[in-house]
Amino acid sequence: MSKRVMTVDDSATVRQVLQMTLEAAGYEVLEAVDGADALNKLTTETVDMMVTDLNMPNMDGISLIKEVRQNPGNRFMPIVMLTTESQPEKKQEGKAAGASGWIVKPFKPEQLLAVVRMVCPT
């Protein structure tokens, strides 16, 4: 059974790039448009890992990671955050909240896959 990845980003473009790349590599993708939407979907769905943007309306990425880690079922789920070069301090903040790794935007599909495979091989 293929691994299921939840992608969380308010930008439809980013979501589409994530979806195309991950699906081509054999992952199943579940999308959410912001932190609140992601949390809501997680109440009914289970995923193997999560890729989330940080700067989003309704609930930002850091709060989302903290919330997700509250749920015992998701305590060990790999969570990769999307950061930009202009916010290196966010990496530390995200790691403290419980993120497993990060991907710097803009990224190339192969960079995304290298990271995703490292934390959640197919």
Partner 1 sequence: MSGLVETFKDEALELLQELEAALLELEESPEDSAAIDRVFRALHTLKGSGGLAGFENVAGFCHEAETVFEQVRSGERQVDQDLVSLTLSAQDHLKGMILAEFGADGIDDELTAELVAAFQALRPFQEEKQPVVTTGFKTRKSDQVTYRVRFRPEPNLFRQGVQPQFLLSELVRLGEAVVVAQLDAIPPLEKLDPEECWVYWDILLTTDQDEDDIRDVFIFVEDDCELVIQQIDDGSRLDQPGDYKRIGEILVERGDLTNEDLEKYLKEKKRLGETLIEKGVVDESKLQSALLEQERVQVLRRERTANDAMESIRVKSDRLDKLVNLVGEMVTVQARLTQFANSRVDAELLAVAEEVERLTWDLRDQVLTIRMLPIGGTFTRFKRLVRDLGAEVSKEVILVSEGGETELDKTVIDQLNDPLVHLVRNSIGHGIEPPGIRQAIGKTAKGQITLSARHSGANVMLTVADDGAGLDVARIRAKAIEKGLISNQAELSDREICALIFEPGLSTAEQVSNLSGRGVGMDVVRQAIDALRGSIEVHSEVGQGTTFTIKLPLTLAIIDGLLIDIAKDHYVLPLSAVEECVELTRAESEQTHGRNLIKIRGEIVPYVRLRDEFRVDGQCPDIEQVVIVKLDGIRVGFVVDHVVGEHQTVIKNLGRMYQDVDGVSGATILGDGRVALILDLPQLASHAEACEKQALH
Question: Which residues of the chain form contacts with partner 1 (CB under 8 A)?
Answer: 10-14, 16-17, 20, 49, 55, 57, 69, 75-79, 84, 86, 92, 95, 98-102, 105-107, 118-121
Q: Which letter, b or e, does each residue of 103-113 get, where b requires 16 or more Cβ atoms within 10 Å of its Cβ? A: bebebeeeebb
In the complex, the smallest distance separating the C-beta of residue 29 from partner 1, rounded to whole angstroms, is 15
Q: Which is nearer to partner 1, 35 or 98 (CB)?
A: 98
Nearer residue to partner 1 within complex by CB, 10 or 28: 10
Residues 6+ apart with CB under 8 A from 112: 18, 21, 22, 51, 103
* Segment (H or E) for 53: strand 49-53
Which CB, 2 or 16, lies closer to partner 1? 16
